[in-house]
Amino acid sequence: MQRRALWLMWAGCAGLAACSGAHEPARAAAAVTAGPARPAAVLDVPALLGLSVDALGQRLGPLRPPPADFIDPVNAPLLLRGEAIDSTALFRYRGLVLVAAYNPGSRRVRDLLLLGPDEDLLMQRALLVAGNRRYLLLPVFEQRRPTALLGLRVVPTE
């Protein structure tokens, strides 16, 4: 009886292994290639870190003021006090929208805010990698809707 139980257990395990699909590499490879295409990178954002706002303008096109209704949560307290924010510039480049915060004296960019609701898509299109030592990636949420993603802030660490 014990031998029969061991044989049934072995046969059951062998049957499971046979049904795993491991012996069908052609179907597995087809499933991988049939997935959705990854969006192409548009801009090497890490290469822009540390530039001046003027150098950004040379690479990305004319700098523009952010829209009047745009609220960066970092600047929200200043806006509430009625202070003007003159150290941000908006850039549009091949479908990406970036807001650069910069030092008005030196004009050096402090951080870049990529606007968009899809963190993974922003990272792919901007060549950003989580855990990179050169910069921090911080999700930024809308001021009026704290559960809605406004974009990703890229802060240089060097």
Condensed to tens digits (0 to 9), the pLDDT of residues 84-139 reads: 566 889 999 999 999 998 888 899 999 999 999 999 999 999 999 999 999 999 99
Could you tell me which residues are beta bridge partners of residue 88? 101
Percent of the chain with pLDDT over 70: 68
User: What is the reported pLDDT for 77?
Assistant: 62
- Domain map (residue ranges) of the chain: 2-33, 45-156
Cα 119 → chain centroid: 4
Q: Is 90 exposed, middle or buried (0-12, 13-18, 19+ CB in 10 A)?
A: middle
Cα–Cα distance between 76 and 145 in angstroms, integer? 14
